Amino acid sequence: MMDRRHFLTVCSQFGFASTLLPGTLYTIAAQAQAASSSADTTSSPKELPKITPEMLEQAAALAGVSIAPDQVPMMLDGLNRQRTGYQKVRALHMPNSVAPAYIFDPLPPGAILHTNRELPNYGSAPAVGSTPKNLEALAFDRVPQLAEYVRTKKVSSVALTEMYIERIRRYDPELHFLITLTEERAMAQAKAADAEIAAGKYRGPLHGLPWGAKDLLAVKGYPTTWGAGGFQHQMIDEDATVVQRLDAAGAVLVAKLTLGALANGDKWFGGRTRNPWNKQQGSSGSSAGPASATAAGCVAFSIGSETLGSISSPSTRCGTTGLRPTFGFVPRTGAMALSWTMDKLGPICRAVDDCAIVMSSIYGPDGKDLSVKNAAFNWDTDFDWRRLRIGYLKSAFDMPKPLDEKMPAAMTPEEEKKWQERLGHRRAYRARTVYDRKFDLAALDKLKNMGVDLVPVELPKLPYEAMANLLSAEAAAAFDELTMTGRDKLLTGQGPEDWPNLFRIARFYPAVEYIQANRARTLAIHQMANIFETVDILVTPSGGEQLVVTNLTGHPAVIQPNGIRGKDAPKPPIADAGDDDNIGGPGTPVSITFLGGLYQDAKLCAFARAYQQATDFYKMHPGL
């Protein structure tokens, strides 16, 4: 092959080496190969046609690069040689578990990391009554209450596990949150838990409690489907680190729960997971099953994941409490990779206490996921949250701007019809947003009544949506072979916002623009660090720009219920297309989000718990 340094040196003389799109050329050539193969069955499927001047011109146009005609010929030989390298790397058939040779670090220079671990303070054991005649009376209890029933042997882990398995069987046909019931494993774990507790070997508050795993976590002996067509029978011969740690805590895995195909939305190969508050709606995603099953009282808690809203959105839709930990707090070993620099695993529960208890068992380095830092999560129920400085994203609570309803001139009748339809959707969305705003403002009033001095804050002004292209680029690399073999046709979703189309678009994302976006991300990290020098917690509506910002910068979030929409709430769309994370409608929950500093997750949970206990919204559950 041509020496790469020499090639770049030659190309740099023309000013476009740093922005040229090799991926674009590869894709255009692949399309040419497909066309020629269909006409000539004798051609080898491994051979790509030579890059032509026409292909180079097309690629340059997509990249926004200007190439003079006399510059084209001298580039072609080097580009053809360079492309050969893509084939050689692709021939390695690297599995999803192979990470790139770089590690994202959300910490800015000079940040102090607290590494001294302390025993968690879960507070005094809650008072629990006698064993109920019908164990389903405990279905919506929170982790501390369930733990006390099991610890005091008023309820056995076996009985609790059987109750939740029965509820899973009853409600899954309506809600579609289950992929695999791990009954044999669960009953063995439950029996072992009861035996240990009887022998005085109590492991802690998760001992004997049934839980569900988002089915991107590998569990030995069971399929790990990633929610995607073509992967239904995939077996991964290991337990994810999080699964191992919950096993060690004595928790009982009862189910592998749904996720939108390859962690996108709530549509999976078996259908669409439903919102227990309104079964006509999807549960949002991609942690669709964990949120739906937890909200429906079918598990004591669950583990989800977030790359860009996948804990926040379903927690909002289903009325659960979700903890999206700081990036690099919980190891992702054994979990499907979507974006190596953005993926995070975290608990979805019924209350903040539950999330903190689960987090205490799953965080910390495992020696395999090298992004995980040796930071401490020291949960203290008695932490004095009044010492914290609380800010709020002022403009996020403002009234939405009026719509521009002026119709463009010179439209055809068909264009006018489509424009009117879009305007109708925008009006409906704004009406729902205006209605939900009163819940956000009520949260600020409640905080002030709690004695909180709210400091107005604004997010740094940076092109966050442009940076979010990093996710699609990394995801396309994680599933490169899926796209290049055409197996992406097996995925359920095939629309403009589904992975097959997004992966194809990402092939045209220049490597240099990826690096530039990461440099802009560094600016965001530094500027967000400046904000968290002035406040400890940020209060914000659950959607909006902050969701993109904090997933890029790795900051933690707690998303929790903040009320139920009344009968006067604007009606939701007739059909849930899955493109509105908080679709709304009478009788459905709303949420509020609290953000914290990097690796300050315990303080964040302490403050979120204080608000939760002052409002009681977390005690609501759907009437199934």
Active site residues: 214, 286, 310
Residues facing 592 on adjacent strands: 560
Quote the CA–CA distance of 132 and 115 in Å, as a whole number. 43
Pairing of strands 271-272, 278-282: unpaired
**Residue 241 CA neighbour count, 13 Å, CB half:** 20
Quote the CA–CA distance of 266 and 531 in Å, as a whole number. 34
3-state secondary structure of 594: strand
Amino acid present at 79: L
Count of beta carbons in the 10 Å neighbourhood of residue 188: 12
Residue with tokens 């992406």: 488
Q: What are phi and psi of 78, to 5 degrees?
A: -65, -40
Residue with tokens 């740093």: 18
Residue with tokens 């040689």: 81
Whether the bond between 38 and the residue before it is cis, its omega within 30 degrees of 0, is no
Pairing of strands 390-393, 454-457: parallel
Quote the CA–CA distance of 75 and 2 in Å, as a whole number. 12
Count of beta carbons in the 10 Å neighbourhood of residue 173: 8
Helical H segments across 310-412, by residue range: 312-318, 352-362
Quote the CA–CA distance of 497 and 580 in Å, as a whole number. 12
- Tokens representing 503? 């992966």
241's enclosing H/E stretch is helix 241-248
- Tokens representing 620? 């609501």
Residues facing 391 on adjacent strands: 455, 538
Integer CA distances (angstroms), 17 to 4, 10, 65, 477, in order: 11, 9, 10, 22
Do residues 508 and 27 lie in contact, with contact meaning Cβ atoms separated by under 8 Å?
yes
In DSSP notation, 105-160 reads --PPTT----------B--SPPP--SPPSSGGGGTT--HHHHHHHHHTTSS-HHHH
Quote the CA–CA distance of 251 and 253 in Å, as a whole number. 7
384 DSSP 8-state letter: -
Quote the CA–CA distance of 86 and 280 in Å, as a whole number. 46
Quote the CA–CA distance of 247 and 92 in Å, as a whole number. 34
217 DSSP 8-state letter: B
Amino acid present at 292: S
